[in-house]
A and B are shown apart, each in its own frame.
Chain A
Amino acid sequence: MLTLGLGLALGAAFGALLQLSGASSHTKIVNALRLKDLTIMKLILIAIGVGLVGVHLLDLFGLANMKVKELYLLGIILAGVVFGVGFAISGYCPGTALAACAEGKPDAWVTVVGGLCGALVFAFMFPEIEEHLLVVGRYGPVTISGLIGIHGLWIAAPLGIVCIWLAMRLPEPGGA
């Protein structure tokens, strides 16, 4: 019960932040991908910068519950390409579509329905996909720091600062 409440609260905070910062707006996303308005890129970069430093500080004290995703070279690239096409066509990602649904955007509702169908089709295709595609270049859940063999903070701190710096350097909309 407590964990459900916590989930709902964190999710609500996430959804509210997406809404308030314009990440759930089709216009903002499409113009980011058209490289006309980089607000969303700036937002993602600073979120990653803060995340990198924070998560690895937690990890330094043994407090981070990490969950690293598996690397399978061919599959990950193909998946990213498919996702990217869907991202540009719909103008939403799986999370922001849900936020846009709640602000009364019917095209986001349809995106979510399409997403449920896509996820279901994938679920039934999974055995074949796993057998043929996920085996190519499969390395398990590897991280950069794990590969080199040092604590993540050594990479996360400078990389996080670079992300935040880059976020500040990218132009604001209206400048162009």
Chain B
Amino acid sequence: MKKDVPDRYETSHEDARPVFPWWAGGIGIGLVLIVAVGLVEPIGVSGQYVVLDGVLLHSVLPDVASRSPYLAKTAQGWTLATYEFFFVLGIPLGALVAAMVTARFRTRVVPIEWKRRFGSNPGRRLVWSFVGGFLLLFGARFGGGCTSGHMISGISQLAISSFLFSAALFISAIITARVLYRDGGSQC
């Protein structure tokens, strides 16, 4: 028999050790989607970044915010009191409770795989995190959804755009990760 769970990961690192096996987490997420589709609508996250942008901008510079039809349409009524926004608000809340309850709340600036490849300079990691986040949401809004909205909700509805988006996303992400982490030469 195999050894116990913690030893199975060659790099025993605080944030790499899930409490739930993959199937439990996956089935759980599938069930959340089914309940959401049955009661309200499919799940989605990335649009709410636009909503928060819109509401914040509208509260400081209402003229500028109103000038973007996309912003006005997405952040309808310039309010955060919507089902969609509260769903997204729930994500960090649920994650915080889960991390606390299982005593896995740990902070660090530079993740272990990044440190191995690029060193432990926190500034460097943070600058690239910003760039990554920027591209992430630019791409998500461009495509009309992210991992939740396109991949999980979209494919579950057999949407052709979601199959295409997910395929492009994974091909691009896998190539980028190979280049970034210089795995190209090895045989893994």
Contacts from A to B (Cβ < 8 Å) = 3-28, 30-31, 33-36, 39-40, 42-52, 54-56, 58, 63-73, 75-108, 110-124, 126-127, 129, 139, 141-147, 152, 155-156, 159, 167-168, 172-174, 176
- 8 Å CB interface, B120-138 against A: 122, 125-126, 128-138
Binding site secondary structure of chain A: helix
Q: How far is the CA of A80 from the CA of B183 in the complex (A)?
A: 22
Report the minimal beta-carbon distance from B93 to chain A, rounded to whole angstroms: 5
Q: Are B27 and A88 within 8 A (Cβ)?
A: no
Q: Are B23 and A26 within 8 A (Cβ)?
A: no
Interface hub of B22, B41, B84, B183 (most chain A Cβ within 10 A) = B22
Selected from A3, A56, A112, A124, the residue in CB contact (under 8 A) with B133 is: A112
Report the minimal beta-carbon distance from B162 to chain A, rounded to whole angstroms: 6
Q: A34-B177, A123-B50 are in contact. Are A42 and B139 (CB under 8 A)?
A: no
Q: How far is the CA of A128 from the CA of B157 in the complex (A)?
A: 29
- Residues of A with C-beta under 8 A to B170: 84
- In the complex, whether B30 has a CB less than 8 A from a CB of chain A is yes
- Residues of A with C-beta under 8 A to B16: 22, 25, 27-28
- Residues of B with C-beta under 8 A to A71: 159-161, 164
16 A-B contact pairs sorted by A residue (CB < 8 Å): A12-B93, A13-B32, A18-B29, A20-B98, A21-B26, A58-B38, A79-B139, A80-B169, A91-B114, A114-B134, A115-B133, A115-B134, A116-B52, A118-B133, A119-B50, A121-B134
Selected from B70, B97, B122, B132, the residue in CB contact (under 8 A) with A16 is: B97
What is the 8 Å Cβ interface bit string for chain B, positions 171-188, against chain A (1 contact, 0 not)? 111111110110100001
Q: Are A156 and B158 within 8 A (Cβ)?
A: yes
Q: Are B46 and A94 within 8 A (Cβ)?
A: yes
Q: Are B37 and A34 within 8 A (Cβ)?
A: no
Selected from B57, B83, B97, B99, the residue in CB contact (under 8 A) with A7 is: B83
Q: Are A79 and B165 within 8 A (Cβ)?
A: yes
Q: A22-B18, A103-B15, A123-B70 are in contact. Are A43 and B26 (CB under 8 A)?
A: yes
Which residue of A is nearest B180, CB measured? A88
Q: Are A107 and B109 within 8 A (Cβ)?
A: yes
Q: Are B132 and A63 within 8 A (Cβ)?
A: no
Interface hub of B39, B41, B111, B170 (most chain A Cβ within 10 A) = B111
Q: Are B27 and A86 within 8 A (Cβ)?
A: no
Q: Are B188 and A36 within 8 A (Cβ)?
A: yes
Selected from B46, B83, B154, B157, the residue in CB contact (under 8 A) with A3 is: B83
